[in-house]
Chain A
């Protein structure tokens, strides 16, 4: 059943009378007079084009006008528009700026579009025809791709669970989250195509990966979802992209690994900036984020230890030590980002270091 508006417009005598007056030439043009804040937005760097930051320079339209708690607009009206009386509430539930905001989101949104790529034509697929992988190596690549497809699909799901609940005043963040969904969809597409190219196949999904992704997707608030997805999961995805590229022996896999790294890095960049803004504005939430990451990192350990990830990595890396080195580097860089995000020394409370020590022993 659709939403039922309080007025039956088709039977509204007042509306019909207004239409008749306008059609009779009685235009009051009130909407034309209500332009309280004219601006003259121009590209500051013409080669970059007209960016969100260019049109946000005026304080009446830029994000600086957004209060910490939005109480004045729950409608679809874009920030800076004139709000007439009686606009309906669209039921937004995320109405605190610090819950969502990151200053870098505008740059990352523009960057996402500028650095776009199209798997169908940009990946040099034909390079795979000359590849001499053994059957075991080929299956190991398909297995890694299978995990990446699952991760990417969830990376599209997570923003979709929150974007429609966010107040329209935060439109830059909503744009960015739509870009994340598109980026994640493209990664799912690209690695599905890689797995099935030529004599391909998908691999076996992982229960541990499923548990990890469920922890990410079931995060109770948007800041916790962002910390789980952007900061933790995509730190790992970025590192996996680096390892995928490192293991590649052909132009197609090199291309895929490099693009996985660059696309994942935008998630990471937003995550660091967002969580830093969040805990900076609301220090009482710091422990909440850290406790959540304690739990979700446990999920990452499950995936690190799963045969569906560990074994194909060993097959492709030529042994365990390069994989352990990759895990150490991924976790170390993640902890550095957590510190930059204002979460403190997570290595002192995280379950990840103990797991890495277990691997070393």
Chain B
């Protein structure tokens, strides 16, 4: 049965993938950050500790988060469509490309050091999102 996007179930499925792909995520190295993914009006809190995603939940308050990746649901769908079709985001749909020039996807933050966690752990965060390639996800 397909997992709907956006949904808490979808992000929990990505969380489980970091446990299933333990070798790949250990190879990327330690990743200690708690960040947000804002899909339209919905905000998901995603916590990484050591090598894996340890917590995923819905939240209202972005203040404790290091940073929030924020975009309309249509852009997230487009990004995950690229992930599914290319077995990982193509060059135009990496989170760096989407956030770098033109602010297609916005990075919200209050603390510049929290913001820099995005850059320090970008490879792991991209790998986390790329795990959608293994899910039966409903992007309609």
Contacts and interface: CB of A to CB of B under 8 A. Distances in A.
Interface of A: 45, 47-48, 107, 110-111, 114-116, 238, 242-243, 245-246, 248-250, 254, 257-259, 261-262, 264-266, 268-269, 272-273, 322, 325-326, 329, 333, 336-337, 339-340
Nearest to B114: A340
B113 A269 contact: yes
Contact of B123 (A259, A266, A268, A333): A259
A238 B29 contact: no
A326 B101 contact: yes
A265 B112 contact: no
Contacts of A261: 96, 119, 122
Contacts of B5: none
B121 interface: yes
A245 B96 contact: yes
A325 B50 CA distance: 34
By secondary structure, the A interface counts as: helix
A243 B29 contact: no
B36 to A, nearest CB: 19
11 contacts: A47-B50, A111-B29, A115-B28, A242-B96, A242-B119, A245-B97, A259-B123, A262-B121, A264-B119, A337-B113, A340-B111
A115 B102 contact: no
Contacts of B32: 107
Given A238-B119, A269-B120, A111 B30 contact: yes
B94 interface: yes
Nearest to B52: A47
Contacts of A333: 112, 115
Q: Which of B50, B115, B122: most chain A CB closer than 10 A?
A: B122
A257 B50 contact: no
B91 interface: yes
Given A242-B96, A254-B91, A337-B112, A114 B123 contact: no
User: Sorted from nearest, which 9 A-B pairs have the closest CB atoms?
Assistant: A115-B29, A114-B29, A265-B119, A336-B112, A265-B120, A246-B100, A114-B30, A340-B112, A245-B96
A268 B117 CA distance: 11
Given A254-B94, A258-B96, A272 B28 contact: no
Contact of A340 (B96, B101, B113, B122): B113
A52 to B, nearest CB: 13
Contacts of B96: 242, 245-246, 257-258, 261
B116 interface: yes
Q: Which of A107, A116, A254, A259: most chain B CB closer than 10 A?
A: A254
Interface in B31-62: 32, 50-51
A5 B29 CA distance: 45
Contact of B30 (A48, A254, A269, A326): A48
Contacts of B119: 238, 242, 261-262, 264-265, 268
Interface string B96-110: 110011100000000
B50 A245 contact: no
B29 A265 contact: no
Given A242-B119, A257-B96, 9 more contacts: A114-B29, A115-B30, A116-B29, A243-B100, A246-B96, A246-B97, A261-B96, A336-B112, A337-B112
Contacts of A249: 91
A268 B30 CA distance: 18
A107 B97 CA distance: 28
A11 to B, nearest CB: 53
B101 A322 contact: yes
B7 interface: no
Nearest to A334: B112
A242 B100 contact: yes
Contacts of A254: 91, 94
Nearest to A254: B91
A339 B101 contact: no
